[in-house]
Structure 1
Amino acid sequence: MIKPTTRKRIASIDMLRGLVMILMALDHVRDYFSADAFLFEPNDLTQTSGAIFWTRFITHYCAPVFVFLAGTSAFFVGQRRDKNSLAKWLIKRGLWLIIVEFTIIKFAWFFKMDFSILQFLVIWILGICMIFLAGFIYLPRKLTLAICFIGIFGHNLLDGFNPTGEITSFIWSFLHQFSIMEYGNITYMTVYLIIPWIFVIPLGYYLGELYLPKIEPLFRRKKLRQWGLGMVLLFLILRFLNIYGDPVPWSTQNSLGFTVMSFFNVSKYPPSLLYLLITLGPSLIFLSLAEKWKGSFFDKMVVIGRVPMFFYVIHIYLIHILALFAAMATGFKASDMVIDLWINMSPELTGYGFSLGAVYLIWLVIILGLYPLCNSYNNYKNKHRDKWWLSYF
């Protein structure tokens, strides 16, 4: 069972965070172990299968929920601090996350510290979002929400914008365009982009208002359900119209299954409006249901959700180490797992990998191995709340 903490936590939020963390691990195991990952993108309908596509799709929920609930956590922190103190807290943690991205996490992904190649991944954007949130909290609530809705609903109007100038193109690659580019003798791989992620975290921040003690649980669940269903319905309408909301329209395929896959094949880099609707909408519905859930699985997800940064860092190191041994066991060299740009972009690993079934098995073994570590670390944090550094990891 979950041991009580000195600060009240929302178990349903921790459970959702924990669940998306283990789904995230599935995606990363697929990156490092799937033979198909080296051959084609999982959403390439000309080569993928239903199993591969939907395996990738369910992991789409990770980043939006991670960023969204980071805002909710910031709201809870703000209940114990004044606004200036909260802003400083957000800036410090944002800067810390950016540092961690390019040091501890960079080495975990690549097993090398080569700063001539920089990858801007999810922890970097989480840090950027926290820094922006430090400014958003000073704005009136309605103004912040209006800015965020405009940013989320309107950013796909920018999809066709491709600046030609060297400097403007470089800046735009961080704002709204996935790129692999060279600038000043450094290769930049901009994956998680500032727009629209910075508009997601304030929405999560104000979601925290639903969890204030004065709010009746029945009212909260009703609102979560209504908002979630509304987002899913809006997704279905916009996607069916095929006019706006994602840079890639859906189309009728050779089979019903692939047509459905085309319908749900939404863009993540940057996250389109439709991507955010179909990930955050069901997540809100999930939160409305999870408040009443109990049981061993629920408790274990809560534990993982209470130590997300610990889980994130440890799981990458574990996956990469296991992949190194798997490569050596199948005829590759250990040095082949020292990566330059990304795992499935490494020509040295041509022919490496395993079936999707093996990927799921490896994933389950990794999750089962990580849970005791997460539980121990969670207990340690609960017993040592006087140690300030624990709040950073």
Structure 2
Amino acid sequence: MSFDNNTHRITAIDWLRGIVMMLMALDHASWFFNEQRIFADSVLLYEPGVHFAADQFFTRWITHICAPTFIFLAGASIAVSNFQRRRQGMSGAVIDRELLMRGAFIALLDIVLFSLVGGKPVLQVLYAIGISMMLMVYLQRLGTEAVFWLAILIIAGGESLLMLLWQPGGDVPLWLALTFAPDFGATYTVLYPALPWLGMMMLGWVFGQWLLTRPSGATAPHRLLLTCGWLALTLFVIVRGLDGYGNLFMHLEGNTLVHWLHVSKYPPSLAYTLLELGLMAIVLSLLMRLESFNKTINRNNPVLIFGQTALFFYLAHFVILRIMEIFFERGSLEQTYVITLLTLVILYPVCRAYRTLKWRYPQSLLRFL
């Protein structure tokens, strides 16, 4: 595991972030151009008994890892960034202010920019990330152990509270939509209520703290991740197999792989969180092993560049997909994959140039992207 000399980042984390950004581009290209796209990841969206085409289902399913991974890694990056800034002599008050400002900026992108484009307030993943980052300013003061157990309580016990307050299809007050329950109303849409995703960011922060403070002789990070990943997947099998608590009304309707993997993302069920964070931990473990074998890191690798410019990538890829609508109509899944590849090819030099500019002016407003 190594730190990039220019950005003080862990390379394996940026690789993983780059991978999920590419998968996210596939999901959004499917949203724009795939006539048969599946969007049934919630009891609010799914009609029991519907049969899914395997290619369409797995195209959607492989992108499920994106949001949990990005939010978990954002938590880890907060811990690493704060450590680096303290080492550079920055005061705690300035570090907290920077994190508050960045979180507010990210949340406002959803609340203002994407809502204007959508014609109504639409709160998606940037809202959840931004609000969670702002809350982390205060939560991290509780200490690593307290944050860990609070994260476990939110992830494992949040469904208990939600089921007391919410019934699918019923009215959702604004405060509940912003915190726990999604709402697909006519006046506003909340896809990512903040608190379930906050738990994932808290876990990421705990992992980042452990990376920085683990004593010599402690378990290697890749081994810890591998162990935690398999544990999470084992718990997923148990929770999904019992088909009760932890599934958020998305019950098993058969014993096929599609039935087992069709879990609730909106809001994230315990089964969904265990599955996606488990897979993420295993992939990150493998990337850390790969990093340890690489004597030199190719700084211009597309995956690394996308991972180091993730928020800029997120904004820019929507612009490119909108432009693509001039040349392509909605059509087949094969066309969706081609458009995704074209989008990534176009984004590579743009993101590379942006990264160069951002590194050249590290204290400019570009640091928020």
TM band (smaller chain): 0.7 to 0.9
How do residues 1-393 of structure 1 correspond to structure 2 at under 5 angstroms? 5-37=5-37, 41=39, 46-79=50-83, 80-81=85-86, 82-106=91-115, 110=118, 114=119, 117-162=120-165, 169-181=173-185, 187-212=187-212, 219-247=220-248, 248-252=250-254, 259-293=256-290, 299-327=301-329, 353-385=330-362, 387-393=363-369
8 A contact 1:77–1:86 mirrored in 2: no
Do the aligned residues in 1 keep the contact of 2:124 with 2:192 (CA within 8 Å)?
Answer: yes
Relative distance call for 1:168 and 1:266 in structure 2 (3 A) is closer
3-state SS in 1 of match to 2:301: helix
Counterpart of 2:64, as a letter, is H
Q: Tell me the TM-score normalised to structure 2 length.
A: 0.86
Give the Å deviation of 1:262: 0.8
Say whether the 8 Å CA contact 1:17–1:69 is kept in structure 2: yes
Structure 1 letter corresponding to 2:230: L
CA distance in 1, matches of 2:175, 2:222: 41
Deviation at 1:362, TM superposition (A): 0.9
Amino acid corresponding to residue 388 of structure 1 in structure 2: S
CA 1:129–1:85 in structure 2 vs 1: closer, same or farther (change >3 Å)? same
Equivalent pair of 2:127/2:194 in contact (CA under 8 Å):
no
Return the offset for 1:174: 1.9
Amino acid at match of 1:323: E
Partners of 1:146 and 1:217 in 2: how far apart? 21
Cα drift, residue 167 of structure 1: 9.9
Contact preservation (8 Å) 2:222, 2:289: no
3-state secondary structure, aligned to 2:8 = coil
Using a 3 Å threshold, how does the CA distance of structure 1 residues 267 and 297 change in structure 2: closer, same or farther?
A: farther
Distance of aligned partners of 1:215 and 1:381 in 2 relative to their CA distance in 1, 3 Å threshold:
farther
Contact 2:166 2:181 in 1 (8 A): no
Q: 1:345: which partner in 2?
A: none
Q: CA deviation at 1:237?
A: 1.6
Q: Could you tell me whether the CA contact under 8 Å between 2:299 and 2:305 is conserved in 1?
A: no
Distance 1:300 1:124, change over 3 A: same
- Aligned partner of 1:347 in structure 2 is none
Which SS does the other structure have where 2:12 is aligned?
Answer: helix
> In structure 2, do the counterparts of structure 1 residues 41 and 316 end up closer, same or farther at CA, with 3 Å as the change threshold?
same
Q: Which runs of 4+ in 1 moved over 6 A?
A: 295-298
In structure 1, the gaps of 5 or more residues are 254-258, 328-352
- The residue identity in structure 2 corresponding to 1:102 is I
Give the letter for the 1:149 counterpart: I
Unaligned runs of 5+ in 2: none
Cα RMSD over matched residues?
A: 2.6
Q: What code does the residue aligned with 1:161 have? A: L
Instruction: Output the TM-score relative to the length of structure 1.
Output: 0.81
Q: For 1:77 and 1:368, how far apart are their aligned partners in 2?
A: 30
**Distance in 2 between the 1:84 and 1:390 partners?**
21
Amino acid across the alignment from 2:368? Y
- Deviations along 1:41-67, one digit per CA (max 9) or x if unpaired, are 356561420011111111011111111
SS in 2 for 1:354: coil
Q: What amino acid does structure 1 have at the position aligned with 2:21? A: M
The superposition leaves residues 210-236 of structure 1 with CA deviations (integer Å, 9 ceiling, x where unpaired) of: 432865696111111111111111111
Structure-2 separation of matches of 1:89 and 1:124: 17
Q: What secondary structure is seen at the aligned counterpart in 2 of 1:192?
A: coil
The residue type equivalent to 1:122 in the other structure is V
1:217 to 1:12, Cα distance in 2 relative to 1, 3 A: farther
Judged with a 3 Å threshold, the aligned counterparts in structure 2 of structure 1 residues 8 and 93 are, in CA distance, closer, same or farther, namely closer
SS in 2 for 1:36: coil
How many residues are paired up? 347
Q: How many angstroms does 1:84 deviate by?
A: 3.2
